[in-house]
Amino acid sequence: MRPFIYEQPADISAAVAIASRFTTDDDQPTRANAQFIAGGTNLADYMKLGVAAPNRLLDLNRLEEPALRQIRVSDDGIRFGALVRMGEAADHGEVKRRYPVIADSLRLAASGQIRNMASLAGNVLQRTRCEYFRETSWACNKRVPGSGCAAMEGFNRQHAVLGASDACIATYHGDFAQALIALDAVIRAEGSRGARKIPFARLHRLPRDTPHIETDLAADEIITAIEVPAMPWARRSRYLKIRDRESYAFALASAAVVLDLDGDSVREARIALGGVATVPWRARAAEAALQGKKLDEASASAAAEAAFADAEPRQHNAFKIELGKRTLVRALLETRDMKV
C-alpha cells in the first residue's frame, strides 16, 4: 500500500472543501488524489492490492451531521442516511415490514462482520470483483484506460452477460443496489457545485468505451442520503440470490422483485437483476411482459425470456443466461405466493 495522508473532516462542507482542493473537474471519484472512506470494506482492499492509490484519504465517520446516521420513516417513504450501516438497515423493523426486498438484499450481501462495518452509501459505490481488475499485472480498461480487457479471452465465468461492451465485461457485484433500482430510489449528494438529487437508475454508468467512469458523481461529491419512495405494495417483494455457496459469496444470478397484484393478475411489476450485468440492471422488458397478465409459470418464463433477450455470453459464462432466467421465474412465483 502506498503512503497517504489521512484526514477526518468535521462536517460535509469541510469534506467537500478538502476534496475539491485536491481534485479537478476531470477526475473520476475512483481515480482522484483525494478519496472518501466510511466502512472501508471495499476501498481498503483495493488500496492493499494497488488498484486504488489515493494520496489523501478523507474519513467520513466523524462528520457531525446526525441525519447521516439515521433511518427516517414517514408517509413519503424511507430515508437512509449515507453512514447507516448495512446491518442496522437490514434489522430495522419498518424496513423489513415495508420493503422486504431491501432487508433481503442487505442480509444476503455479506457476512455479519462486514454488514456491521459497511455503510449504505459505500455499498452502492462498491467496485467490481473482476479478477483481472484486482490483479494489476493484467490488462484492464477500468483500471488503466486503453490498456485492454484481459477478461474477454480469459476465464470469464463470473462476468456479465448484460450491459457489456467491447471495452469491459466486469460484473457489478452489489445486492442492495438491485432493490434500490427496482424501487425507483433517489440519491442525495453534495459537492462543490451544491446539493442535487440523482435517480438511482442514473447513478451507475454502462461501461461503453469509458469503463473507468463508473458513476455520475463528481470526485468531490458525497452521497448524503438514499431515499426510497412510499409504495404500499412493496410489502410483496423479495430478493433471491443464487451463488456457489450459501455462505458469504457474490451472486451468480439474483433477482429483486416487487409485485402489485389484482387477484392473480399483475397490475405492476418491478424487476432488477444482479450478478449478470455490468451495472444494477432494471429488467423493464420483463416488467412490460407481465403487465396485466396472470402470473403463473408460463408468464413468468416469458418475462424471463424478455429479460435476457439481449444477453451476450462469453466462453465461460453462457450458463448465466439460463440460470438468470430460472432465478427470475422462481423469484416471481415466490413473491406471488408471499403472505402479506
pLDDT, tens digit, for every residue of 270-296?
Answer: 999 999 999 999 999 999 999 999 999
Q: What angle do CA 324, 327, 329 make, to 5 degrees?
A: 110
Dump pLDDT digits (tens) for 157-170. 999 999 999 999 99
Cα–Cα dist 196/189, whole Å:
6
Among candidates 38, 31, 32, which has minimal Cα distance to 58? 38
Task: Answer whether 5-59 and 237-336 agree in fold.
Answer: no
Task: Note the pLDDT of residue 282.
Answer: 98
Cα–Cα dist 171/129, whole Å:
8
Task: Note the pLDDT of residue 340.
Answer: 86
Map grid coordinates 482492499 to a residue.
45
Cα–Cα dist 236/261, whole Å:
9
Cα–Cα dist 139/36, whole Å:
26
DSSP string, 127-149: PP--HHHHSTTS-BTTTSTTS-B
C-alpha cell at 200: 438511482
Flag whether the pTM goes above 0.85.
yes
**Which CATH number is associated with domain 5-59?**
3.30.43.10
C-alpha cell at 330: 422462481
Among candidates 328, 46, 326, 73, which has minimal Cα distance to 178? 328
Cα–Cα dist 126/242, whole Å:
20
In this structure, the strands spanning 186-191 and 222-229 are antiparallel
Dump pLDDT digits (tens) for 181-228. 999 999 999 999 999 999 999 999 999 999 999 999 999 999 999 999
The predicted model gives 97-101 an average pLDDT of 97
**Which CATH number is associated with domain 237-336?**
3.30.390.50
Q: Please check the confidence at residue 309 and state whether its pLDDT lies above 70.
A: yes
Q: Where are the domains of the chain?
A: 5-59, 237-336
